[in-house]
Amino acid sequence: MEFRHKSVLLEESIEALHIRPDGIYVDGTLGGGGHSYEICRRLSDGGRLIGIDQDAAAIAAATKRLEEFKDRVTIVRSNYCDMKKELGKLGITSVDGVILDLGVSSYQLDEAERGFTYREDAPLDMRMDQRQTLSAKEVVNDYSEMELYHIIRDYGEERFAKNIAKHIVSARKEKQLETTGELIHVIKAAIPAKARATGGHPAKRTFQAIRIEVNRELYVLDHSLGDMIDLLNDKGRICVITFHSLEDRIVKNKFRESENPCTCPKEFPVCICGKKPKGRVITRKPIVPSEEELEENTRSKSSKLRVFEREIQ
């Protein structure tokens, strides 16, 4: 199957990176290589791009897409939470820019057997990294009702989370849930008919929630941003594109905290905590897609770009 994915906020994020032709850049969510291609085009022979993705299919597609840039590109199959370690293996201790374009690619969604989509019937899976053992099947069949409720409510922002969790637990008492089709059937039964008639596919929010849990998406993001900011050279920038309000909040808070990390009480005349600012937030408000992009690419709908610039004092 062809790797199809339309990059979101492409121009905006590339412009915000302030690319230096001889700089070192890291794309932590390589996907089909859309953003990376635009970075590579702006590099000279002295520049370098390291592309990271945990998905084997993305690695294969991006390797092909970026072939023309030869030695300027190094592709690594890993989780971006291990960026510092992976760069260390390449002898790199600091970089000029980092980009993250979170979530799943259209390719992952289109590949039915990966189990990300509620549009096809496939085994419950949803792993971005197929080497990982935890999949949607374990989440759906082994998590407690309370855990499922919290995940579906918080990560899916689903109004009927409680009832969906209850229905899942009662259905699996009869027989393990094995496929996306079986899960969709249970979700539909848990949502009142009236509510089902509006607001898109009834399983959309629950599927998103389970995917976020399977791939520990929020935990990974929250525990990686600090390292990435520390990796930046003076004036180096990190650009993060999010698709979920919780992701955006994590990025916003981490950037703010890095700009103003002081934890001294307000009434202290001078700082004694010793925590020094790491740089400044470039985007007070997130950059969102243009009307044109929203019309052209429905996947861009909830996307937000935030940018932080490192300042080394």
Ligand X SMILES: C[S@@+](CC[C@H](N)C(=O)[O-])C[C@H]1O[C@@H](n2cnc3c(N)ncnc32)[C@H](O)[C@@H]1O
* Site residues (vs ligand X, CB under 6 A): 5, 7, 29, 31-35, 52-55, 58, 79-81, 101, 103-105, 128, 220
Q: Which amino acid, one-letter code, is at 151? A: I
The answer to whether the Cα torsion of 14, 17, 22, 25 is positive or negative is: negative
* Residue where the block lists tokens 């990176």: 17
Residue 1 CB partners (closer than 8 Å, separation 6+): 107, 110, 111
| Residue type at 144 in one-letter notation | S
Closest distance of CB 35 from ligand X, Å: 4
Nearer to ligand X among residue 181 and residue 286 (C-beta): 286
Helix, strand, or coil (residue 270): coil
Nearer to ligand X, 24 or 57 (CB): 57
Q: How far is the CB of 14 from ligand X (least distance, A)?
A: 10
Residue 35 or 310 having the CB closest to ligand X? 35
Estimate the crossing angle of helix 161-174 against helix 180-190, to 10 degrees.
130
Minimum distance from residue 254 beta carbon to ligand X (Å)? 15
E strands within 38-116? 48-53, 73-77, 95-101
- Determine how many CB atoms are found less than 10 A away from the CB of residue 257: 17
| HSE (side-chain half, CA atoms, 13 Å) at 168 | 34
Nearer to ligand X, 35 or 167 (CB): 35
Report the residue number, 32 or 279, with the smaller CB distance to ligand X. Answer: 32
Q: Which is nearer to ligand X, 105 or 283 (CB)?
A: 105
- Rounded least distance, CB 129 to ligand X, Å: 7
Distances (CA, A) of 267 to 85, 202, 256, 272, 276: 40, 51, 20, 12, 18
In the complex, the smallest distance separating the C-beta of residue 54 from ligand X, rounded to whole angstroms, is 4
Shortest distance in whole angstroms from residue 273 CB to ligand X: 31
Distance CA 274, CA 264 (A): 9
